[in-house]
Chain A
């Protein structure tokens, strides 16, 4: 039986879909069978990010309504056989979701995959609540910016109130990903440090992703950045994926930018 991970945020546009795509592929690259499901009904996007928008025939709402089976709706990734994808419906809206149908879908996926990642819609309305209801773990994505952090705290509060696991007296593991870190701004004191964000939100850190032009380049091509090992964001996503697979990977200080990293190395030589 697999693990279900919900990727959530309070505010929109912080990089949930990019995170889902890259962690899904990263986990698949680590040899685990992984399904990624787009729960953002009406605003389908995950298909574009992983380059499968032309292959979508059936969506998850059709699976839930019994119009087709999961294997019929599942689309295999072109770059990794371990990664499978289930699209959101583009024509319906979030109100079509209901607990019992979501539960059935999630349970079926859990039986056939090692990891199931649910890409939650932004905000804290019904679509979000259904994504977290049956999740074993949650990844909260924030940007180092006040509105994203404040909204994340609210989302965490709702997660703790609505999760089935919490209602049964168990704990939902919560992990934080700080996305779009600009090292030089952190250095100059114009951007919140990871430690400050952790101090405020008080959850476990699982990844720091630097701001990286390669992300846009990757999404232009529908090839998640985790495939580009030379890109900093890609390498960072791969580290998070390994951590999720149970590997103990040391944290890289992405907040000290390359220039200062070079200086440190030079200073090290003369020390």
Chain B
């Protein structure tokens, strides 16, 4: 959708960006369906030594490099 000055309206930019972001999210989640169990097991292991509040796992891609980044939030 283009406005009268030929500038793309922000709603249409939002739609395009969302489509790509959600497609990537869905692909990551179906690629690693064990993510929740992995999370639960990490919590169990770390809990033996220190209190854990939350574990977040994200897949990060940087060119050729693929990594899982694991964030462990400690329970104060």
Residues of chain A having any CB pair with chain B under 8 Å: 125, 145-146, 149-150, 153-154, 157, 161, 186, 188-193, 196, 199-200
Contacts and interface: CB of A to CB of B under 8 A. Distances in A.
Nearest to B22: A153
A146 B26 contact: no
| Residue among B1, B14, B36, B54 having the largest count of chain A Cβ atoms under 10 Å | B14
A157 B18 contact: no
Given A125-B54, A150-B21, A189 B10 contact: yes
Contact of A150 (B3, B10, B18, B29): B18
A126 B11 CA distance: 33
A188 B9 CA distance: 8
9 contacts: A145-B14, A146-B14, A146-B17, A149-B18, A190-B9, A191-B11, A192-B15, A196-B11, A196-B15
B52 to A, nearest CB: 11
Nearest to A152: B22
Contact of A200 (B12, B22, B54): B22
- The A interface, classified by DSSP as helix, strand, loop or mixed, is helix
A199 B22 CA distance: 12
Contact of B26 (A145, A153, A161): A153
A122 to B, nearest CB: 14
A189 B9 contact: yes
A200 B15 CA distance: 8
Contacts of A161: 36
Closest 4 CB pairs of A and B: A189-B9, A196-B15, A153-B22, A192-B11
Contacts of A125: 54
B33 to A, nearest CB: 8
B25 interface: yes
